Structure 1
């Protein structure tokens, strides 16, 4: 992604999709992100973490913004870079109800919610948010190391000495 005069321009390898602002869309969003990451051969452990964090961001958009109002929506944008071993997921919402920034807070042990951004902070390589005229975008990035295993040698050629 490149920011240009307040606009965000999607880079090659970036896909996006808008989802209806209803609770069932959180599962649809996870399935869609799984397909995108699987198609890009992202490691399974990174996919698992990304899906958890997608659930958190989508749920937060529905719980804390205008996304869940009639006609509401949230959008996801996924950028995969296997060469740099990097995934970035952005969640756009339909506008903030309260005018506040997303905040990192840890709820008490018996609370039913309030741990979303704490999970994002704990599991993501990087995360943040930005506002524009239509709403807010919350993002996370996941990076993964090079494979620790030795490279697999090419298959032996028949008839080679």
Structure 2
């Protein structure tokens, strides 16, 4: 069975992060083994989209896309980009911010991002990718393996 794919465009305001969480939870359903991890990680990535990109500005928006099978999900949060440099940094134990990459490293099986003139797409996988997804064409927008960050040392990648 192929993956189910659903997308939702949301206004770029902080209260819409909750809508992104509900959307992912609803798409995955209560029986999905990786629902809690996906909801936690979309909260982090959607918050970053609103706080650190043009999505949080007047008229801004971000898009959440969920691709899922019974044992796997990929979530992509696409924002309107930023002129700043992306930083997936390690922070001190006393810091109350900046733990996003640690969450992604700890909860996602893979994660990464692509960045272009239209904005940034941060994506993460939870669970084990099904064989039919692994054989997909490399040009698929839901398969940016070249930009994988998780599973190795975090870094700054730009395309």
Q: Please list every run of at least 4 consecutive aligned residues from structure 1 whose deviation after the TM superposition is greater than 6 angstroms.
A: none
Counterpart in 1 of 2:69? 81
The two structures, once aligned, show a CA RMSD in angstroms of 1.8
Question: Structure 2: which 5+ residue stretches go unaligned?
Answer: 130-159
Q: Counterpart of 2:76?
A: 90
1:127 paired with 2:111, answer: yes
Return the alpha-carbon distance in structure 2 between the equivalents of residues 27 and 14 of structure 1: 20
Select 2:43's aligned residue among 41, 52, 55.
55
What is the aligned partner in structure 1 of residue 145 from structure 2? none
Residue 23 (structure 2) pairs with residue 23 (structure 1): no
Q: Is residue 109–residue 128 contact of structure 2 (8 Å, CA) maintained in 1?
A: no
2:25 to 23, 34, 38: 34
Q: Partner of 2:127 in structure 1?
A: 143
Which protein shows a greater Rg? 1
Structure 2 distance, partners of 1:52, 1:12, is 21
Gaps of 5+ in 1: 1-10, 146-161
| Secondary structure at 1:53 match in 2 | helix
How many aligned residue pairs are there? Answer: 128
Q: TM-score, normalised by structure 2?
A: 0.74
Q: Report the alpha carbon displacement of residue 110 of structure 1 after superposing the two structures with TM.
A: 2.2
Q: How far apart, in 1, do the equivalents of 2:83 and 2:123 lie?
A: 19
CA distance in 1: counterparts of 2:83 and 2:12, whole angstroms:
14
Q: Distance in 2 between matches of 1:96 and 1:65?
A: 5
